[in-house]
Amino acid sequence: MNVNTYTKSRLKKHGLPSKPPLLRFTIIDLSGVTVYHRSFVSEVLDEVLFSGFSAAMIAFSRELGTQLYCIKMEGVDYYFKTRGDFIFVVGMYPRVRSPSAKRFLRLVEKDVNWEEIDSYLNKAVHFQTEEFEKKVEQTIFDFQIRFKHIIRE
């Protein structure tokens, strides 16, 4: 059983509503390529287009001398965090407050073994390792369970 299937079955077991608080989570390199993506809703979002858009928005905000933190689109709040060559983006329902989104992004950032990443020629490989996937899936699982009360059926 792959990690994503395992996580979804655990979430179902714990009574996660069909509208989970965390809708999607993506890690993008600065060139706009998706290196990790998980979605908990039916995808209507083109992952490749979204990744390119996110990288462009980060680059644009840097040109302006500011930092992109949040974009609200179509009833979803997208929160951004950058570190090194990567952009972390989480999409959540607006009822999940900004501090909770920040906390989630900090927790995922801690799941990354930054020292190990530096040893890879292609740093994106780290995000496909079983170790990283297990860690981030647990972080997602914990978040979904903790905030499941926010979204009503």
- List the CATH number of the domain containing 63: 3.30.450.70
CB neighbourhood size of 5 (10 A):
9
Q: Which domain holds residue 128?
A: 3-150
What is the count of structural domains for the chain? 1
- The pTM of the full predicted model, rounded to 2 decimals, is 0.82
Q: What is the pLDDT of residue 33?
A: 93
Q: What is the pLDDT of residue 125?
A: 85
- In angstroms, rounded to a whole number, what is the distance separating the alpha carbons of residues 2 and 119? 26
The tens digit of pLDDT for each residue in 57-108 reads 999 999 999 999 999 988 889 999 999 889 999 999 888 888 889 999 999 9
The tens digit of pLDDT for each residue in 108-127 reads 999 998 888 877 778 888 88
Residue 28 CB partners (closer than 8 Å, separation 6+): 34, 35, 51, 54, 55, 86, 87, 89
Taking a C-beta distance cutoff of 8 angstroms, is the pair 91, 77 a contact? yes
Q: What is the pLDDT of residue 3?
A: 47
Taking a C-beta distance cutoff of 8 angstroms, is the pair 70, 50 a contact? no
